[in-house]
Amino acid sequence: MTDTSSCQSPAIDDPSLSADEARQRILDSISSIAHAEMVPVRNALGRILAADVIAPYDVPAHDNSAMDGYAIRFDSLSAEGETALAVVGSAFAGNAFSGMVGKGQAVRIMTGAVLPAGADTVIVQEVTRVDGSTVFIPAGQKQGQNTRRAGEDLARNSVALPAGKRVGPAELGLIASLGIAELSVRRRLRVAFFSTGDELASIGSPLAPGEVYDSNRYTLYGLLTRLGADIIDLGVVPDRPDALEATLREAAGMADAIITTGGVSVGEADFVREILARLGEIRFWKLKIKPGRPMAFGKIGDAWLFGLPGNPVAVMVNYAQFALDALLRLSGVDPLPVRPLLTAQAANAIKKQPGRREYLRGTVTQVDGCWQVRTMSHQGSGILRSMSEANCLVVLPEACGGILPGENVQVQLFDGLY
């Protein structure tokens, strides 16, 4: 937990939702898409399993050796002193010893080779000495050592991978080891996104007075591509209610989720909340956080909508804290109940007023064997460069009233968020 020696009780009464309340409300509302499809194993990387993967046989399929050495019967060994055993053959991975290991005998064996009949223990070659066809085993061995038993990894008909598991490189290898060629996976999540604002210009065109280039769609493109979604870029929508309504209707007809940026505050040109209320429903639209206080969450038809702020940093913060886990659940993944946090010492003082949760960009490093984090000097929600230079978010809870150098804080590493 964060050291709150310099923290106070919340000092403001705000009807907006806390970060935890908002996240829970979102996750309680959403269930995964039901459609599944069969894909070849190599095409399953990054996909979500729609059904359990069942082991068709034991893994490993046979008792085998975990080391290079000698397969023996444990009852051949003397209780004290060295034991001499006759080497009667060899066993290799893919070329088993066909005979029986009797008392007083040993078989030279390689890692992964099937344990010969009669043998129950493997002696690593480094502790033995060999003289012709005789191997000498020192005292102190344990029965069953250096062996892997059939079904030790997976028993036949057991669940190798559960439904809802994202397939990564390790999962691909595990599935291949079971001889499975095709998998049932959830279809890819369809996410439509667009930016709003008359001030937004497309890259490649010159800026008119008062215009800025639209960066948010490119940020969202990267985030959603990394998520593995099928993405539908609907471009920039001008600040006109008719254009916004038409685009929201179009998006709701083709996507499982809609992400907008801008237009969710209380300005004269902020229409997302008003139109969302008319077309569908609003679950909430204001949060006790910084940055990213204005955020609309609701539904139009069968599509869930996440109306993110227009400031670039707020887009990334709100996506990571609220939209990401919702999209994972829609995809068929159960997100972690609480995001993992790393405890680090603050390298600098941090000013904060109690009453809302704050997410500050920072860089975490090891100093004298301890994790230390320094917040970026510029924390404006429009300074996207700071997200590129940082490697974490410093998470200050609602009750915190500031941090002194050397106090502990909680940080979220960017790895896994973005």
According to DSSP, residue 44 is labeled G
Flag whether pLDDT at 324 surpasses 50.
yes
Q: Does 383 map to a domain?
A: yes
Q: Does 389 map to a domain?
A: yes
SS3 201: strand
Among 125-139, 258-272, 369-383, 386-400, which stretch is predicted with the lowest mean pLDDT? 258-272
Q: Are residues 292 and 227 in the same domain?
A: yes
Q: What is the pLDDT of residue 270?
A: 66
Nearest residue to 163 via CA among 186, 188, 181: 186
Contacts of 244 (CB under 8 A, 6+ apart): 196, 237, 263, 271, 272, 275
Q: Does 253 map to a domain?
A: yes
Flag whether pLDDT at 374 surpasses 90.
yes
Angle formed at CA 412 by CA 409 and CA 417, multiple of 5 degrees? 170
Q: What is the pLDDT of residue 239?
A: 87
Q: What is the mean pLDDT of residues 330-350?
A: 93
Q: Tell me, what CATH number does 97's domain have?
A: 2.170.190.11
Top pLDDT among 99 and 267 is at: 99
* Prediction pTM value: 0.85
Q: Are residues 252 and 207 in the same domain?
A: yes
Question: Please, is 320 exposed, middle or buried when counting C-beta atoms within 10 Å of its C-beta (0-12, 13-18, 19+)?
Answer: buried
Q: What is the pLDDT of residue 15?
A: 67
Q: Which residues pair with residue 345 across a beta bridge?
A: 372, 408
What range does the domain containing 45 cover? 37-59+152-186
Using pLDDT thresholds of 50, 70 and 90, give the confidence band for residue 11.
very low
Flag whether pLDDT at 284 surpasses 50.
yes
Render pLDDT for 158-188 as a digit per residue (tens, 0 to 9): 999 999 999 999 999 999 999 999 999 999 9
Which of 284, 300, 331 is the C-terminal boundary of a domain?
Answer: 331
Q: Does 369 map to a domain?
A: yes
Q: Are residues 316 and 198 in the same domain?
A: yes
Q: Are residues 197 and 292 in the same domain?
A: yes
Contacts of 190 (CB under 8 A, 6+ apart): 229, 230, 232, 254, 255, 256, 257
According to DSSP, residue 80 is labeled S
Which of 301, 331, 361 is the C-terminal boundary of a domain?
Answer: 331
The rounded distance, in Å, linking the Cα atoms of 9 and 20 is 17
ω into residue 291 within 30 of 0, thus cis? yes
Render pLDDT for 231-273 as a digit per residue (tens, 0 to 9): 999 999 998 999 999 999 999 999 999 999 998 766 554 677 7
Flag whether pLDDT at 398 surpasses 70.
yes
Total domains in the chain come to: 4
Among 7-21, 199-213, 334-348, which stretch is predicted with the lowest mean pLDDT? 7-21
Q: Does 337 map to a domain?
A: no
Using CA atoms, how far residue 342 sits from 95, 261, 377, 390, 402, in Å, is: 49, 30, 21, 15, 19
Q: Are residues 111 and 156 in the same domain?
A: no
Instruction: Please answer whether residues 324 and 417 qualify as being in contact, where contact means their C-beta atoms are separated by less than 8 angstroms.
Output: yes
Q: Are residues 159 and 121 in the same domain?
A: no
